[in-house]
Amino acid sequence: MRRLISIALFMALGTVGPLQAAVPDKITLETAEEKGCLSCHEGIESIREETSAMLAAIRALGQSQGDPEGCVICHGGNPRGLTAEEAHQGVPEKVSKTGPKTFYPDPGSIWIADNTCGQSGCHQGYPYRLERALMSTEAGKI
């Protein structure tokens, strides 16, 4: 029994180590200004294919917000934050009035879709359709 606990603990610690190693010890203002959210989240997968027009539009909007990848356009937050707490609160000053109001870890949530996917200039009407979709209403389910 003791051996099983030791093996389980070793395996758990072994899987946590590499995840923590990816986060830098200290972010500088220069790094944050150059990389934005990727200062900490480097290596994260893009939301679309690299040739996607949607990804190009998001990156262009993000560039003007100090976030070359455009994460703040949907997630909100502060791309120049030097700590996790600073980065994951607020929104850049220039984000549209219909965009994120704070940091959203899950911008695809139905409850905030009007401030993320449905913000002006993006997918207008999407929140309306999402609220009335079969998966949201469960219409016809007996």
Over residues 34-57, the pLDDT tens digits come to 788 888 888 888 888 999 999 999
CA distance 32 to 69: 12
Average predicted confidence (pLDDT) for the chain: 80
Asked whether residue 27 is domain-assigned, the answer is yes
Q: Is residue 52 part of a domain?
A: yes
pLDDT confidence tier of residue 103, bands split at 50, 70 and 90: very high
d(CA 39, CA 93): 20
Where is pLDDT greater, at 33 or 11?
A: 33
Residue 45, domain member (yes or no): yes
Residue 7 located in a structural domain:
no
CA dist 56 and 77 (Å) reads 20
Q: Name the domain count of the chain.
A: 1
Q: Is residue 15 part of a domain?
A: no
Tell me, yes or no, if the pTM score tops 0.75.
no
Instruction: Identify the CA nearest to 71 among candidates 98, 44, 110.
Output: 44
Q: Is the pLDDT of residue 119 over 70?
A: yes
Cα(110)–Cα(91) distance, integer angstroms: 20
Answer whether residue 114 is part of any domain. yes
List the domain range (segments joined by +) for residue 88: 23-137
**Separation of alpha carbons 58 and 93, rounded Å:** 16
Q: What is the percent of the chain with per-residue pLDDT over 70, rounded to a whole number?
A: 81
Is 13 within the bounds of a domain?
no
pLDDT surpasses 70 at 17: no
Q: Is the pLDDT of residue 121 over 60?
A: yes
Establish if 112 belongs to a structural domain.
Answer: yes
